[in-house]
Amino acid sequence: MKNTHKIYTWLYALFAVATLIFVIFVNSQNSEIKPVEQDSSYEHEFIHGEIQKMGNPTETGDSELMVKANSSEEEGKILNVILSSMHNFNDYEIGDEVLIYKATEISTQKTTYEVADYFHQNGILYIFIIFAAVTIIIARGKGVTAIISVALSLALFYLVFLKMITVGISPIVACLVFVLIVTILTIPLIHGFNRKALSAIIAILIGYIASVFITYVFRELSQLGNTPGEEFRLLKIMYHEISISDILIASLFMGAVGALIDTAVSISSAIFEAIEENGKQTFKKVYKIGMEVGKDVLGSMINTLLFAYLASALPFLILISLSQASTITELVNMDFIALELTRTFIGAISLVLLIPLTASISAYVFVRARN
């Protein structure tokens, strides 16, 4: 048992080192994706600032604020910043931290400043600290590894997935590499270097293959096209070189990844931890236990997927329901709604197929290890 743990630990360390080398290599490459039209007459920058004084609205409805710059070359200076009536939907007050959009005309060096939005960075940091503190207090050691796992996944999303796309690699390939690395690095980190984690990883990786196939099939069945949403169309207009179709496939597939990981780990954990240590266990008995756990997880996990996607579309759904076009038929035929429903069903059927797969693999590994 100790030798097995040692082997898993060494393999994990080698994979982590290989991942680090890969990340360094990808981030050393120059971006290959360029916008179709790039305005070279202006330089653009975002600045962090704090509102010192509120101005009265002008005839056009715009306001001029006095904002202290907290970053860039303007740091410490008081700037006259425009608060546009057309782009403003927030109620700003003195002391609020805001993000300022700075535009400089290169030929004349004339600079204008406009409030873009609140400055979210500090608030997000405070939220993360609260989350980390509560998690560590309740879950102790497991909480620490869970926090590391979340931070690692976010870092890899930026350093691997997004960076691979910017250097010209297919979004589908980038997505598969990203989820592969995250799966192999985070599961042992949280659940240990053992057969339980190994069983879950094997099942998840096979589940990914099935989920990608399901994604292609369901995308064709629902006739989503290539741009089922405004953000897809904007991306296509600005960057012709990138494959919007591949972005759509990656988006649909990635929506199921988290649920697949949770389900596989839950089943594997039940098999390896809930079964009594004494007594010889048969494959059939262990498999049955895994299936029962999977069935219990299935309903709640599908609801989790559904509510997550409904929440992301909530403003749009309310907008449509308040208009005359609010019948079920009209809602389902809207591209954005069709996208979210398709993503939900891809995740749901991937979960259904993963349950017997994980139960089989975990039961085999468990029985073989015991007997």
Instruction: Note whether 69 and 207 are same-domain residues.
Output: no
Asked if 280 and 345 touch (Cβ cutoff 8 Å), the reply is no
Instruction: Note whether 149 and 292 are same-domain residues.
Output: yes
Instruction: Note whether 265 and 295 are same-domain residues.
Output: yes
The Cα–Cα gap between 357 and 333 comes to: 34
Residue 274 DSSP label = S
Instruction: Note whether 269 and 335 are same-domain residues.
Output: yes
What token pair was written down for 28? 């050393």
The parent domain of residue 92 ranges over 42-119
pLDDT tens track for 83-142: 887 767 788 889 999 999 888 888 788 888 898 889 999 899 999 999 999 999 998 888
Assess if residue 234 is contained within a domain. yes
**Which residues neighbour 184 within 8 Å (Cβ) at sequence distance 6 or greater?**
12, 15, 201
Instruction: Note whether 310 and 245 are same-domain residues.
Output: yes
Confidence band for 44, pLDDT divided at 50, 70 and 90: confident
Assess if residue 74 is contained within a domain. yes
Assess if residue 124 is contained within a domain. no
pLDDT tens track for 220-268: 888 887 767 777 888 888 887 788 888 989 988 998 888 888 889 888 8
The Cα–Cα gap between 146 and 184 comes to: 14
pLDDT tens track for 51-94: 998 877 776 778 888 999 998 888 889 988 888 877 677 888 89
The Cα–Cα gap between 18 and 75 comes to: 40
Assess if residue 206 is contained within a domain. yes
Instruction: Note whether 115 and 149 are same-domain residues.
Output: no
Instruction: Note whether 66 and 184 are same-domain residues.
Output: no
Instruction: Note whether 114 and 165 are same-domain residues.
Output: no
User: pTM of the full predicted structure?
Assistant: 0.84
Instruction: Note whether 251 and 342 are same-domain residues.
Output: yes
Instruction: Note whether 158 and 68 are same-domain residues.
Output: no
Q: How many domains are contained in the chain?
A: 2
In the predicted structure, residue 358 carries a pLDDT above the cut 80: yes
Residue tagged 């329901």 (tokens): 321
In the predicted structure, residue 42 carries a pLDDT above the cut 80: no
Assess if residue 128 is contained within a domain. no
Domain termination residue (choose one: 86, 119, 152): 119
Instruction: Note whether 147 and 232 are same-domain residues.
Output: yes
Instruction: Note whether 15 and 146 are same-domain residues.
Output: yes
Q: Which amino acid is at 235?
A: L
Computed over every residue of the chain, the mean pLDDT equals 85
